[in-house]
A and B are shown apart, each in its own frame.
Chain A
Amino acid sequence: MTLKTHFREIEGRSPRYLLLLGGLLVLVALGLFAAVLKGTYGHHITGMNNQVVWGLPHIFAILLIVAASGALNAASFSSVFGRVAYKPLARLSGVLAMTLLIGGLVILVLDLGRPDRLVVAMTHYNFKSIFAWNIFLYTGFLAIVAVYLWFMIEKRMNRYSTIAGYTAFIWRLVLTTGTGSIFGFLVAREAYDAAILAPLFIAMSFSLGMAVFILVTMAMAAGTERPLGDLILRRMKNLLGIFVAGVLYFVLVYHLTNLYATRLHDVQGFILLSGGIYTFLFWVVQVGIGSIVPLVMLFHPVWSQSRRVIAAASGLVLVGGFAQLYVIVIGGQAYPLEMFPGYEMSSTFYDGVVASYTPSMVELMLGIGGTAFAFLLLAVVIKFLPILPTSLADAQVDPHAARSTASAQSAAAGA
């Protein structure tokens, strides 16, 4: 038997909350300013060019979109896998999934050459385009999760929340398959054109979404001074570790498969050995700081007991995810197209040379602005809707486990 979970809106009048809102609003305003600048002067004020056509905004956007589907983890564990401990977090999980996705989409739309033609994108569909599929996948995700949240919040509809949870979980898997396939379907480029990018992105969504969710849960508990027990944190950090290892596995298989093919040796050598910033980001940030270090932190018997270590590990996973997307998105474009295998190639259009890309302040502002927008929405929603549980104390999350932990501790103390 579990204790009944209570959800309550936050009061939202504390100076800390208002300061948070103010700070996020400033960042959103800066992002909008960046979008206006880009709209006025064109993309030449960014670091993007005809060689690297997708830049920093796309990394922010993909990170948010991938993390969005992963942020739904807690709700899925509760509704789909019947893990009662996650039930108090299911609503937050759904809301965070929606706001992160909206933040990512806002960045993508504002980075278009013609954001004013959004209505064209909504009315002219090419059903062979994975981009067009994604428009349906994203809007569908928002609709399904919104209904799912309604079923969870509205007592009369509670009994349908399981079926909504199943639908949302399947949808998020398809959605991230779609995101990974944006690259996986690009037959022209050596670094992409791989079916494994879809499951790799799904694995990334689990780990990045979990990392964001852990940080948000901890921040919410600290900010609202509602209790947060070790039990739920320990479960989430263990899962995060498993997800991080899962991502590493897919990365390993992706590179091993490509290393086997002689025609891909050059591009693999570029990413893994000679790619300068991309090689550094891959080995040091993605694999080292973003995967191995957090794995050690999350599973070390002593360190992993500390909340600060768990928070830091989650942060590092996000830094690693950012680096990973940088390597995939920018590195994959920087490596020149091999139009004539076996030939050295040169031209005034940067054929045959590694393309240069220096991220600009405008792109950074747009990326951070969209991210801030996602959290601004979250902060507003939890003020007006009963999203946050009043307590995440161990006894609330899993009374049985809490009791046995307590008795084990007292037994140990007695011995």
Chain B
Amino acid sequence: MKAIIIDDEPLARMMVKEYLQSYPDIEILQECNDGFEGIKAIQLYQPDLIFLDIQMPKINGFEMLELIDQPPQVIFTTAFEEYAIKAFETHAADYLLKPFSKERFDKAIQKLKTNTANNTQAIIETASQSPVQSNRIVVKDGGKIKIIPVTQIQYVEGADDYVKIHTADGVFLKKKTMQYFENSLQQQQFIRVHRSYIINTQLITRIDPHEKDSHLVLLSTGARLPVSKAGYAKLKEVLGI
């Protein structure tokens, strides 16, 4: 089994390494200081297992996982109890609360070995609903990683199985559903006005009637987007008109 440890605290990594000494079948390929190193190492080594901290520089553990196409099995190691602990209770990959004992660690490894199904994806889906995500979105821009504060999002456009995030710096793609963004973006500032559009209400300059039962919204960026009947009702409520 190939493993990678990703944690910004050297002593925390040392701890995992020490516990892993009793598992000769698990080979540690690399230790990473942050999510960026983590992504590179995962792409390079394609590990079976990663030990992942949540609070790390620049991008957190959840955000890092989102940027990996086929994430390996994950054991979270964190001091944050509030993040998605409930989500992990229902899934097989483990969540170790720092400081954790050798017994607890052994249990996590056992669980991992007996459970071959990779349900990391499901965990990410549930975990990424946590508040840690709410004020920014991490996307891949070519080879680079870009962090977009949600306030800079102009609108989100649905397109098949991914979405287009429109910002002043350009359009970015992310493999997520519209439903996901509707849930995770701040309800006050972002409204899903149409099956395919979520808009930043701060940028609205005008709302014009369009064909029967529908409207067109004009954003300060010049974009004209359709508003459905249900979307118009939501807009009216939030804007107080």
A-B interaction: no
User: Hey, which bits of chain A sit against chain B, CB under 8 A?
Assistant: none
